[in-house]
Amino acid sequence: MSAVDAGHDLATRVVHAGLDPDPTYGSVIPAIHQTSTFRQPSVGEFVEDFDYARSANPTRAALERALGLLEGGHGTAFSSGMAATHALLTAVCSAGDHVVIPSDLYGGTFRLVDKVLTRWGLEYTMVDQTDLDALAGAVRGDTRLIWVETPTNPMLNVVDIAGVVERARGAFVAVDNTFATPINQRPLELGADAVVHSTTKYLAGHSDTVGGAVITAGAEVHDAVRFVQNAIGAVPGPFDAFLVHRGLRTLALRMRAHAENAAAVVAFLQDAEGVHEVRWPGFSGMVSFRHPDATRVAERTRLFTLAESLGGVESLVEVPQAMTHQSVEGSDAAVPSDLVRLSVGIEAAADLVADLRQALHATVTAPPA
Ligand SMILES: Cc1ncc(COP(=O)(O)O)c(C=O)c1O
């Protein structure tokens, strides 16, 4: 049994959650079970639920226990954040159901709902969830699920999860907690029914794996999510599960460093020439701002790598409208073309500020394109 439980501080939980020393050799970090199947001494006889690795794998199970312990629910791991989102939506909703989604959200989530699930009869309404009256107005008698993303990607708006739960009228409340992480926000404690993560981001934290997770408050929904996990088969391989689990162990430390650096970057950007509407939720490392020459700023940074994704130890920069959010173009969730999104890493803050300073300066002094 793991040495930690819900009574321990999160900083302690992240280090130990889901990790039991190997029972055979005593290795402090259990072996990676890189196997597709498990020997059965007799027909139908196997350890726990380990009969075939799509259905269950000990390395994945360890990660799932850890994720459950960090969010305060039942964890299920997936091969990507989108696979996790798909599994939760299909486990909870049926054809003809209505869902409420935010008008400011990750483009891939919108694409899944708008381009795939509507073909199977799902109806949706988009609403600005920072306006709780508007949210209440969007919830219908047949609303099965409310999808919350907070802070939102890429506008970094913060939604009052407890306020959404109060207005849900019995609908299932799912929260994409990718940007906040359980270090900063635990939606299940605020009354939400499930949490989704792209573990690709802060949870794994090193930009070296793609993964996702669903953590549910209720055991029944958990069973439904696991059923979809096995039926669809979008499971992480053992090595990917190991990488996410290893990343989790430094999550508390990393989130503190990301936030400290983001505060320094924001302090610089607020007075920087040409920069306006600097956004930062006050925690985590996600910062966005507007600049008339957004593309050139993003192309001129050196330490901040121009790339999609976020949440790794290294700093990244992108222009959402042209990169991560093309799928929302022309919809209510479209993002401004002059928006720059930063994922502030854990390098020295002074170096990050110097890099942004030179990128903005180079943009101001460059001849017109
Ligand atoms: C908030 C949010 N949710 C979900 C996803 C999807 O995750 P993945 O890329 O791991 O499928 C992303 C990806 O950027 C994201 O930013």
pLDDT digits (tens, 9 = 90+) for 181-236: 999 999 999 999 999 999 999 999 999 999 999 999 999 999 999 999 999 999 99
| Contacts of residue 159, Cβ cutoff 8 Å, sequence gap at least 6 | 102, 129, 130, 148, 149, 150, 152
3 in a domain, yes or no?
no
Q: How far is the CA of 106 from the centre of ligand 1 (A)?
A: 7
Band (pLDDT 50/70/90 cuts) for residue 171 is very high
Whether 212 is in the pocket of ligand 1, judged by its Cβ within 6 Å, is: yes
Task: Please check whether residues 265 and 120 belong to one and the same domain.
Answer: no
- Residue 350 confidence (pLDDT) above 90: yes
Max intra-chain CA distance, the chain: 75
209 in a domain, yes or no?
yes
Which of 111, 200, 326, when mutated, tests ligand 1's pocket best, judged by the most ligand atoms within 8 Å of its CB? 200
Q: Which of 164, 157, 215, 222 is nearest to 191 (CA)?
A: 164
- Domain containing residue 229: 10-248
Task: Please check whether residues 95 and 38 belong to one and the same domain.
Answer: yes
Task: Please check whether residues 268 and 240 belong to one and the same domain.
Answer: no
Final residue of a domain: which of 232, 248, 264? 248
pTM (2 d.p.): 0.97
pLDDT number for residue 184: 98
- CATH code assigned at 179: 3.40.640.10
Can you tell me which residue has the tokens 């934290």?
205
Whether 356 is in the pocket of ligand 1, judged by its Cβ within 6 Å, is: no
Task: Please check whether residues 267 and 301 belong to one and the same domain.
Answer: yes
Task: Please check whether residues 74 and 98 belong to one and the same domain.
Answer: yes
pLDDT in tens, 262-272: 999 999 999 99
Q: Is 9 a catalytic residue?
A: no
Q: Provide the angle, in degrees to the nearest 10, between the axes of the packed helices 251-270 and 349-365.
A: 40
- CATH code assigned at 342: 3.90.1150.10
**Residue nearest (by alpha carbon) to ligand 1 atom 2:** 106
Q: How far is the CA of 321 from the centre of ligand 1 (A)?
A: 16
Catalytic position from the list 60, 144, 186, 201? 201
Whether 278 is in the pocket of ligand 1, judged by its Cβ within 6 Å, is: no
Q: How far is the CA of 109 from the centre of ligand 1 (A)?
A: 8
Task: Please check whether residues 187 and 203 belong to one and the same domain.
Answer: yes
Q: What is the mean pLDDT of the chain?
A: 96
Band (pLDDT 50/70/90 cuts) for residue 341 is very high
Task: Please check whether residues 105 and 160 belong to one and the same domain.
Answer: yes
200 in a domain, yes or no?
yes
Whether 82 is in the pocket of ligand 1, judged by its Cβ within 6 Å, is: yes
Task: Please check whether residues 264 and 196 belong to one and the same domain.
Answer: no
Final residue of a domain: which of 248, 272, 287? 248
Lowest pLDDT segment from 16-30, 190-204, 239-253, 285-299:
16-30
Q: What is the mean pLDDT of residues 162-188?
A: 98
Q: Which residue has the higher pLDDT, 220 or 2?
A: 220
5 in a domain, yes or no?
no
Whether 345 is in the pocket of ligand 1, judged by its Cβ within 6 Å, is: no
pLDDT in tens, 36-93: 999 999 999 999 999 999 999 999 999 999 999 999 999 999 999 999 999 999 999 9
Which of 196, 198, 202, 208, when mutated, tests ligand 1's pocket best, judged by the most ligand atoms within 8 Å of its CB? 198
Kindly report whether the peptide bond that precedes residue 30 is cis, defined as omega within 30 degrees of 0.
Answer: no
2 in a domain, yes or no?
no
Task: Please check whether residues 303 and 344 belong to one and the same domain.
Answer: yes
Name 175's bridge partners: 148, 195
315 in a domain, yes or no?
yes
Q: How far is the CA of 326 from the centre of ligand 1 (A)?
A: 14
pLDDT number for residue 368: 53
Final residue of a domain: which of 226, 248, 270? 248
pLDDT number for residue 363: 79
- Residue 369 confidence (pLDDT) above 60: no
Task: Please check whether residues 284 and 199 belong to one and the same domain.
Answer: no
202 in a domain, yes or no?
yes
Cα separation, 301 vs 309, whole angstroms: 16
Band (pLDDT 50/70/90 cuts) for residue 333 is confident
**Of ligand 1's atoms, which has the minimum distance to the CA of residue 310?**
14
pLDDT number for residue 332: 87
329 in a domain, yes or no?
yes
Q: What is the mean pLDDT of residues 94-115?
A: 96
Q: How far is the CA of 365 from the centre of ligand 1 (A)?
A: 36
Band (pLDDT 50/70/90 cuts) for residue 259 is very high
In the chain, the number of structural domains is 2
Kindly report whether the peptide bond that precedes residue 367 is cis, defined as omega within 30 degrees of 0.
Answer: no
Cα separation, 42 vs 101, whole angstroms: 49
**Of ligand 1's atoms, which has the minimum distance to the CA of residue 309?**
14
Band (pLDDT 50/70/90 cuts) for residue 365 is low
**Residue nearest (by alpha carbon) to ligand 1 atom 7:** 81
- Both structure tokens of 119: 């073909």
Which of 159, 179, 201, 324, when mutated, tests ligand 1's pocket best, judged by the most ligand atoms within 8 Å of its CB? 201
